[in-house]
Structure 1
């Protein structure tokens, strides 16, 4: 039985498959793929070998990787094969050379509202892993930047935003204190500081232990946790941080 009404068919875009799969089956090579129009004979969309030059066709690219796949225009971006449903989509696609229903649902989300025919192009890069690009961020350099709430992860002082990574050097001739730094996500890094080291010195030291693409972070201590970076020039003694635990918070 066909559960789709005719109205559905007129508004739902046709989805074709057009793939870069190499098949040893010659008969298969010449077979035209079935169109998916919401109520076709098959619940799958075939992967077409010859898309034909159709200017009205919208092409959605599905790129397969060893560790997942991506659909062009999909807000979710990379879909990890660790999730069972994503692994099944990849396996079905390779096995049947057709777009399985779960993938078709993703493509429908991508093209919703488009009245064009939709072609599905498959790029098989399953011999390589996908690695996300490193995020780029610009540190805030402006003036007049005030802290709205205690939980904000953007430190209020602009000198923090332009700080450079610098490991702390301890003068053993001066009073020292051992502080437990807890780096994201819960990595403990105990460190000795002089009592006249400032909150800024602690921040620069933590920065030197943090991956460069980590992004902005705050340092909090006490209960309830408060930012130690509101007055970066204050010393450990002034901030009463002797023996404290300081946590890095994104």
Structure 2
């Protein structure tokens, strides 16, 4: 495995030779198990994953990784076997993934800005209007949460039937607003204490 140097220091001749061997071996092994180098006309227009193998590490869609990291080694071993790494299988579940590996072993990767990932959290499927209300109550905390109703943004329509699916209520791509119901209880509590 190639060793990485901090502060982009040049690698010694021995380290450079090991890195070149590693990158060359990765290409050879991947081709042996059936990976193909396709011409641009043969490639399908699906999800592209660009992997560049540098002197001091590698990038996956411009996200730098060290050769010495355990997860990185598993990732590269999958590529070497001609398999899609499990990390990418989880991200691209139903798409066809075109992995392009580029040999840059004679160049040092200069650190770039971190890749912006707009959402890296976990999504929640909401199938009914009641699921939206349950979701809000769960994250507000049920202890003394003020009563509220749900409405659409424009036109403003109250969502009264919680048994409807989002499709039946025509709420796909709609903005849902939580409207707190007016009560005098918080004021009474303050006056009593």
TM-score interval, normalised by the smaller of the two chains:
0.3 to 0.5
Which structure has more helix as a fraction of its residues? 2
TM-score (ref. length: structure 2): 0.34
TM-score (ref. length: structure 1): 0.27
Larger Rg: 1
